[in-house]
A and B are shown apart, each in its own frame.
Chain A
Amino acid sequence: MSFARALLEALLRDSRLITPQLLLVGAATLMLWPLDGILFQRGEKRKWAPVTLVVLALTGLLMLGVPSGSGFSGMYKVDGLARGFQWISLLSAIATVFLSQRMLDGMEEQTVEYYAMILFALSGMFFLAGATDLVSIYFSLELMAVCIYILAAYLRNQDRSIEAGVKYFLLGAFSSGILLYGLSLLFIAAGGQGTNLSALNQALAMAPKNSDFLVFAGVLMVLVGFGFKVAAVPFHQWSPDAYDGAPTPITAFMATAPKAAAIAAFIRLFGTGLHGVSSDWVPPLSFVAGASMVWGNVAALRQSTMKRMLAYSSIAHVGYMLMGVLSMDVAQGAQVIWLYMGIYLFMNMGAFAVVIHLQGKGEGERIEDFRGLGRRQPVLAFAMMVFLLSLAGIPPLLGFFGKFFLFKLAIEQGYVFLTTLALVTSAISAYYYLMVVNQMYFREAPEGDRPALGTAIAAVVTAACAVTLIGTAFGPWLLEWAGRIGV
Chain B
Amino acid sequence: MVSMNGVLLISFLLLAVGIAGVLIRRNALVILMCVELMLNAANLNFVAAARHSGTVNGQAFALLVMGFAAAEVAVGLALVVALYRRRDTVSVDKIDLLKG
Which of B64, B82, B87 lies in contact with A139, CB distance below 8 A?
B64
Knowing A184-B42, A192-B49, say if A177 contacts B35 (CB, 8 Å).
Answer: yes
Among B38, B87, B98, the residue within 8 A (CB) of A181 is B38
Q: What is the bound-complex CA distance between A304 and B19, given in angstroms? A: 34
The answer to whether A177 and B38 have CB atoms under 8 Å apart is yes
Check A245–B98 contact: CB distance below 8 A: yes
Contact with B along A77-105 (1 / 0, CB 8 A): 00000000000000000000000000000
Q: Do the beta carbons of A195 and B28 come within 8 Å of each other?
A: no
Q: Is the interface of B mostly helix, strand, loop or mixed?
A: helix
Is A193 within 8 A of B46, CB to CB?
Answer: no
Segment at the B interface, from A53-61, A146-154, A253-261, A276-284: A146-154
- B45 lies within 8 A of A153 (CB): no
A174 lies within 8 A of chain B by Cβ: yes
Query: Considering the complex of A and B, which 4 residue pairs feature the smallest CB-CB distances, nearest first?
Result: A192-B49, A177-B38, A184-B45, A192-B53
Complex Cα spacing A241 to B99, Å:
7
Given A166-B28, A166-B79, 11 more pairs with CB closer than 8 A: A153-B82, A160-B97, A166-B80, A170-B28, A178-B38, A184-B46, A192-B53, A193-B55, A194-B57, A244-B100, A304-B100
Interface pair A169/B52, CB less than 8 Å apart: no
Q: A15 within 8 Å of B by Cβ?
A: no
Asked if B92 and A170 make an inter-chain contact with CB atoms under 8 angstroms apart, the answer reads yes
> Of the candidates A159, A241, A305, which one forms a contact with B87 in the assembled complex, judged by CB atoms under 8 Å apart?
A159
Residues of A within 8 A of B71 (CB): 146
How many residue pairs bridge A and B at CB < 8 Å? 131
Within 8 A of B (CB), among A411-429: none
Bound complex: CA A302 to CA B87 (Å): 29
Find the residue from A139, A174, A185 having the highest chain B CB count within 10 A. A174
Q: Per a CB cutoff under 8 Å, which of B4, B35, B48, B49 touches A174?
A: B35
* A149-B75, A177-B35, A187-B46 given; A308·B100 CB < 8 A: yes
Is A183 touching B57 in the complex (CB atoms < 8 A)? Answer: no
Q: Quick check: B55 and A192 within 8 Å, CB to CB?
A: yes
Pairwise interchain contact B100-A303, C-beta atoms closer than 8 A:
yes
A192 touches B82 (CB 8 A): no
Residues of B near A467 (CB, < 8 A) are none
Are B98 and A163 in touch, CB under 8 angstroms? yes
Tell me which residues across on chain A come within 8 A of B72, comparing CB atoms: 142, 146, 173, 176
Question: A170 to B60, alpha carbons, bound, how many Å?
Answer: 26
16 A–B contacts from the bound complex (CB under 8 Å): A135-B64, A159-B97, A160-B98, A163-B83, A165-B82, A167-B95, A173-B35, A173-B76, A178-B38, A180-B38, A181-B11, A181-B41, A187-B58, A193-B57, A240-B100, A244-B100
Query: Taking CB as reference atom, which chain B residue is nearest A179?
Result: B42
Q: Is A408 an interface residue (CB 8 A)?
A: no
| Residues from chain B with Cβ under 8 Å of A166 in the complex | 28, 79-80, 83, 92, 95
